[in-house]
Amino acid sequence: MIDFWNTLNFWNKVKFIFSLIGLIFGVIFSTLNWNSLEVHLIFTKMKLPLTIVLFFAFIIGIAFANLLHFQRQRKKDREQDHLDDIENT
């Protein structure tokens, strides 16, 4: 571990420390919110811990953001291809 720490530059050490602090806060948050609650799905109900519900909401949010980013990037790529075609003619 000391060898790993010595290979990091200052900003990577700062990032590593903040990541550890975030991980500790995440574990504390998870243990404090482990009480079960009833989740109403479309056709059924389930009892799940709040932490798992929040985790799934987080994952769905990331997936949705990546989908929107992918669509915007595709649109920009098509516009750039169109501009390149106009310049080449």
Sign of CA dihedral 13, 17, 23, 26: negative
pTM above 0.75, yes or no: no
Q: Is 86 helix (H, G, I), strand (E, B) or coil?
A: helix
**pLDDT of res. 68:** 93
Q: How far apart are CA 87 and CA 75, in angstroms?
A: 18
pLDDT at 50: 86
pLDDT, residue 65, reads 94
In contact, 39 and 56? CB cutoff 8 Å: no
3-state SS assignment for residue 48: strand
Name the stretches of the chain with pLDDT < 50.
Answer: none
The length of the chain in residues reads 89
pLDDT given for residue 64 in this prediction: 94
| Domain regions of the chain by residue span | 50-89
- Whole-number pLDDT of residue 83: 84
pLDDT score of 34: 84
